[in-house]
Amino acid sequence: MEQSSKQPENATSRRSFLRTGVAVGAATVGAGLLSNGLPAFAEKERHNVTRGDVAILRFLAAAEILESDLWQQYNELGGVQDGEVPGGSGSKPYTAALQKLDADMPQYIHDNTDDEISHATFINAVLTSIGADPVNLDKFRTLPSSKATGAQQIGRLTNLMQLSVDTSWWTRYRSSTKNPDFGDTFDQAIPGLNTGKFPAIPRDDNDLNPADHLQAIANTAGFHFGFIEQGGTSIYPSLAQRVTNPVVLRILLSIGPTETMHFQVWHDKAGNAPPVTDPTNGLKFPDLNAAPFDGEEFNTNLIMPEPTIFLDRKFPVCSIIPPTQTQGAAMAVAKAFTDDGLFIGQSPEFFAAVTQLAAEADAAQRQG
């Protein structure tokens, strides 16, 4: 994911909006208690929570809320609908197309959804426990739902029906000579998917046919899963470098690896996407194991990160999950999600809120 350190020019007006429009504005960091009355932090640790730490937690809470929203949409149509994850009744044709990537896709989608909901809920509870405002984006749940049978008809934060999915993550982890932290760029695994606007869920029941069209939608979802979770894989270690409080650091170091586990699953499953060309729009999913793609940049069984350059080119190569550059990391995530099409249809106020949250997280500085 490209990194950017550019700060918003109209930060003052956005900060003013946040104080009145969303529960993410400045707050006193105090000696809060969890609802069960147990101290969330030891006395010394409570007093060591900086405004930067709070800004980082707020941004991550917002990111997890947005992820929860998109994953819930996937689960309503293609996951396991039960009491753990709210809503939806499933779409059998869409689920069957997803299962071409793996028979267990519904369970994986369900569990990823459950995890993201738990992350958002937990981080907001921590914010409350230290006397900071939790993040609430409910006023921005204005985007339409899929009209396909199985989807809830409620307002959404994210749009899964006009995506431009960046699939360069596929080649990034296969390179032994490049690293995005050095400014390197990477080929797209599915070039067409990054240049158009494609649905990753059926927009309505008309999208259930023809079969190749529905499979292309499921394949789009498969690569989108990897795109979303590689973002989470990088943002936690990137922002952890700016944290001061040891408990806040522990939170980031404990949640981050779950995002990596998600990514590893989706990296593997995307490689099972069957070759297909969508007859309605020409979107092509090639066989990544056949010429001209049959090399180390594309082969589907090469899902372990290839050792590559890290920190300085003078060092030996090392297997890592890049990027981990901290400068502009939060803003890079906000930009990547925007470029992905997730926020198509959202209001200017929404973009101002997300931009300000990202800018404040990127401005955090490790103290001491």
Tokens 């921005």 appear where? 140
Q: Give dist(CA 152, CA 242) in Å, integer.
A: 39
pLDDT tens digit sequence for 249-263: 999 999 999 999 999
pLDDT tens digit sequence for 327-366: 999 999 999 999 999 999 999 999 999 999 999 999 999 9
Q: What does the mean pLDDT of the chain come to?
A: 90
Q: What is the pLDDT, as a whole number, of residue 28?
A: 34
- pLDDT above 60 (res 144): yes
Find the length of the chain.
368
* 179 contacts 244 by C-beta, under 8 angstroms: no
Q: Give the gyration radius of the chain's Cα atoms.
A: 20
Q: Give dist(CA 259, CA 364) in Å, integer.
A: 22
Average pLDDT over every residue of 96-116: 98
Q: Give dist(CA 172, CA 297) in Å, integer.
A: 8
Name all contacts of 182-189 with Cβ < 8 Å and 24+ positions apart: 182/309, 182/313, 187/297, 189/223, 189/288, 189/298
Which DSSP category does 36 fall into? Answer: T
Q: What is the pLDDT, as a whole number, of residue 291?
A: 85
Work out the percent of the chain whose per-residue pLDDT is above 90.
84
Give the distance, in angstroms, between the CA of residue 20 and the centroid of all CA atoms in the same chain. Answer: 27
Q: Give dist(CA 82, CA 208) in Å, integer.
A: 23
pLDDT tens digit sequence for 8-63: 333 333 333 333 334 433 333 433 333 333 355 655 555 689 999 999 999 999 99
Token couple for 229: 């979770």
pLDDT tens digit sequence for 211-240: 999 999 999 999 999 999 999 999 999 999
Helix %, strand %, coil % of the chain (to 5) = 45, 5, 50
Token couple for 299: 């082969």
* 160 contacts 190 by C-beta, under 8 angstroms: no
Token couple for 228: 């979303």
Q: What is the pLDDT, as a whole number, of residue 368?
A: 78
Average pLDDT over every residue of 121-149: 97
Tokens 């993201």 appear where? 116
pLDDT band for position 186 (cuts 50, 70, 90): very high
Please report, for the chain, the start and end positions of each structural domain, with discontinuous segments joined by +.
11-362
Q: Is the peptide bond before 144 cis (omega within 30 degrees of 0)?
A: no
Which DSSP category does 276 fall into? Answer: E
- pLDDT above 60 (res 142): yes
**Does 305 or 30 have the greater pLDDT score?**
305
What's the Cα-to-Cα distance from 255 to each of 28, 48, 113, 115, 248, rounded to whole Å?
A: 25, 21, 14, 10, 11
Instruction: Give the type of residue at 270.
Output: A
Q: Count, in order, helices (H) and strands (E) of the chain.
A: 10, 2
pLDDT band for position 94 (cuts 50, 70, 90): very high
Quick count: other Cβ atoms within 10 Å of Cβ 147? Answer: 14
Q: Give dist(CA 355, CA 333) in Å, integer.
A: 10
Tokens 């819930």 appear where? 72
Which spans in 130-210 are helix H?
A: 169-172
